Amino acid sequence: MSAHVSGPASILREPWPSVPRQREGVTFGMWAFLATEVLFFGALILVYAVYRDLYPDAFRAAARATDIVYGTVNTVLLLTSSFVMTLAIDAGAAGARRVAILCLAVTAALGTAFMVVKGFEYYEDIQNGLLPDAGLPLPSPMSRLFFALYWVMTGVHAIHLAIGIGFVLVMIVLLARSTLAAESPALDVAALYWHFVDTVWVLLYALIYLPGRS
């Protein structure tokens, strides 16, 4: 099969009998994977919920020590990246390969901007001693629990986002080489993963940055 042929023939893969069945199958597969991711992040958030319930004042003081400007800027970046990713999928479905590539590039750039902002935030956190050890400059030692979860949850999220950026970059290269058709379900599953990483951040924003401000 020619790699340069666009259309149903280049989209369909073994063992699927038709493109709609293939799209349904890969979408189902990605959602099944995302269901396990929900439980993975859910377990971390459960630990957070239990400790926040046990030590509410320590968690409020610790959350107040985080930098809400970085957190808010990153939320806007990720929400915008999800919006542009949606445009990429629609452009791909309409056969507009170049528009899809452009939108994917903007999505990856916004994801990278998130990582850069997160890097600045981590640097300042370390400068301010916001680490889960005895040097944490907060009155309650239980605030260390918050920062242990802060580093693990945001760190694991950043790893997921880095994988997402890599995923999007691969899609850009495959689309640019016409190895992948713009209508391919592969783009749909990349988008599902991207949006999921976005939803995790929406929740982390509410749990990490917002408490203890009033």
Partner 1 sequence: MTDASAHRRLPLRQWLGYAVVWLALVAGMAVTLALAYVPLGRAQAAVHLAVAALQIALIWSAFMNLRRSSALVRLTACSAALWLVFMFALTFNDYFSR
Q: Does 32 bind partner 1 (CB under 8 A)?
A: yes
Q: Which of 52, 107, 111, 72 is nearest to 202 (CA)?
A: 72
135, 126 contact by CB (below 8 A) = no
Is the Cβ of residue 87 or residue 131 nearer to partner 1 in the bound state? 87
Tokens of 15: 């063992």
56, 140 contact by CB (below 8 A) = no
194, 82 contact by CB (below 8 A) = yes
The nearest distance, CB 133 to partner 1, in angstroms, is 26
| Total number of residues that touch partner 1 (CB under 8 A) | 57
- The residue count of the chain comes to 214
Q: Which of 123, 191, 153 is nearest to 40 (CA)?
A: 153
User: Using CB under 8 A as the criterion, what x/- string covers residues 104-143 for binding partner 1?
Assistant: ----------------------------------------
Is the Cβ of residue 131 or residue 178 nearer to partner 1 in the bound state? 178
Name the CA radius of gyration of the chain, rounded. Answer: 20
Is the Cβ of residue 46 or residue 159 nearer to partner 1 in the bound state? 46
User: Using CB under 8 A as the criterion, what x/- string covers residues 38-57 for binding partner 1?
Assistant: xx--xx--x--xx-xxx---
Is the Cβ of residue 98 or residue 177 nearer to partner 1 in the bound state? 98
User: Using CB under 8 A as the criterion, what x/- string covers residues 147-186 for binding partner 1?
Assistant: -----------------------------------x----
E strand or H helix that includes residue 72? helix 68-93
Give the contacts of 29 (CB within 8 A, at least 6 positions apart).
189
Q: Does 66 bind partner 1 (CB under 8 A)?
A: no
Cα 59 from Cα 147, distance rounded (Å): 9
191, 91 contact by CB (below 8 A) = no
Positions in the binding site for partner 1 (CB under 8 A) = 4-7, 24, 27-28, 31-32, 34-35, 38-39, 42-43, 46, 49-50, 52-54, 68, 72, 75-76, 79-80, 82-83, 85-87, 90-91, 93-99, 182, 191-192, 195-196, 198-199, 202-203, 205-207, 210-211, 213-214
